[in-house]
Amino acid sequence: MRKARILIVDDAVVVRRLVTDVLAAEPGFEVVGAAANGRIALAKIPQVNPDLITLDMEMPEMDGLTTLREIRKLYPKLPVIMFSTLTSRGAAATLDALSFGANDYVTKPANVGSIMAGIQSVRSELVPRIRAFCPWCSDGEQAASPAVVAAKPVRAAPRIKVRPEIVAIGVSTGGPNALADLLPRLPADFPLPIVIVQHMPPLFTKHLATRLNSQCKFEVVEAAAGDVLRPGKALIAPGDFHMSLVKRGTQTVVHLDQSPPENSCRPSVDVLFRSVADLYGARTLGLILTGMGQDGLRGCEWIHDRGGRIVVQDEATSIVWGMPGAVSRAGLADAVVPLDRMAPAIEGALAITPPAIDTKILNHVASACV
């Protein structure tokens, strides 16, 4: 097993020490260097030959965004995970970093109460991401996990294809860029409501919605409790809240709650997808885009078992093929498509005409009503 070689870039000595200690204690990891700013980091990269870089956003001399741009010019395939602050400014800068080519981000521990809590925060957030981008550093048991199992054909089910009445999207790692590619391809008069769970903390989801709203031909907003679903409007679950849908009279509205995380996620794709499947049944179109982990797998089972359809992003265009891969391997996907074919897949589903009505049954009902 070859170890993942990691370069830590942060101007704070305390943070460099904490991250170094956490990663050095992990099997399969080797911290090969540290740098206090981007200029030093760029000089060290050819010396230590890292497999991955953790990169602070705010540093003297050369900040994270400037450093990231230079890294992408010189090392376009080198994975970079940004270290962000859980602030409005940090959220905006993180979205910029992702658009400039960062692979993912983690938020710095803040107000966690103790050094041990800070260590646990870094371990739980950063370590899985490094393993996702450096899969060779995992031990044999992890390497033989379902991630390498071939995709299955879609599970047999007596389903009649009907035109969907809602699009539900689940996405995580790589999601902001994936959504920025997909949603602007949809027309201004898109006829269905869209509901989205993107794994992000508070503040980040609001900035994401604002940014997507400026790029799309229809409205994109961070959801609020009681929001009414409308055609041609996309609602993004707010960070740290589960989003589900409920009926209020003739309207479908948003419900938010802070019940325990599912799949270590809040918001969780499973929570949203279950509620969508319960309300819309076979009229559900579920999309699973790039993301780490398996959130959305159980929700897709609910959609599938109620006759709805599921489209997942393919491995080649996913930053991490965890969530879509899990759904594909379970045989739940009706289609596995590249990101640039996702919009045509949605349009194809909308082109389905309702099942023909048996005229004999219609005449029988009419005569019974006379």
Cis peptide before 267 (omega within 30 of 0): yes
Where on the phi/psi map is residue 214: left (φ > 0), alpha (ψ -120 to 50), or beta?
A: alpha
199 given a catalytic annotation: yes
Answer whether 290's CB lies under 8 Å from 173's CB: yes
End-to-end CA distance of the chain: 78
Catalytic residue among 104, 199, 227, 270: 199
Largest CA distance in the chain: 88
Beta carbons within 8 Å of 324's beta carbon, 6+ residues apart: 288, 289, 290, 291, 312, 313, 314, 315, 318, 333, 336
**Would you state the pLDDT for residue 170?**
98
DSSP state of 321: B
Q: Which residues of 38-65 are buried (b: 16+ CB within 10 A; e: fewer)?
A: bbbbbebbeebebbbbbbbbbbeebbbb
Give mean pLDDT, residues 94-117: 85
315-317-320 Cα angle (round to 5): 60
Question: What is the C-alpha to C-alpha distance for residues 222 and 118, in angstroms, rounded to an integer?
Answer: 29
Beta carbons within 8 Å of 346's beta carbon, 6+ residues apart: 167, 186, 285, 287, 311
Write out pLDDT tens, residues 182-196. Answer: 999 999 999 999 999
**For residue 141, is pLDDT > 70?**
no
**Would you state the pLDDT for residue 109?**
76
Give mean pLDDT, residues 314-323: 97
84 given a catalytic annotation: no
**For residue 77, is pLDDT > 90?**
yes
Answer whether 265's CB lies under 8 Å from 258's CB: no
Give mean pLDDT, residues 143-166: 59
Give the tokens for residue 242: 């589960």
**Would you state the pLDDT for residue 353?**
62
**Pairing state between β 52-56 and 4-9:** parallel
242 given a catalytic annotation: no
Write out pLDDT tens, residues 196-236. Answer: 999 999 999 999 999 999 999 999 999 999 999 999 999 99
* Mean pLDDT rounded to a whole number for the chain: 90
Pick the range with the lowest mean pLDDT from 46-55, 114-123, 164-173.
114-123
Confidence of residue 147 (pLDDT cuts 50, 70, 90): very low
Catalytic residue among 84, 121, 138, 172: 172
Catalytic residue among 242, 295, 314, 328: 295
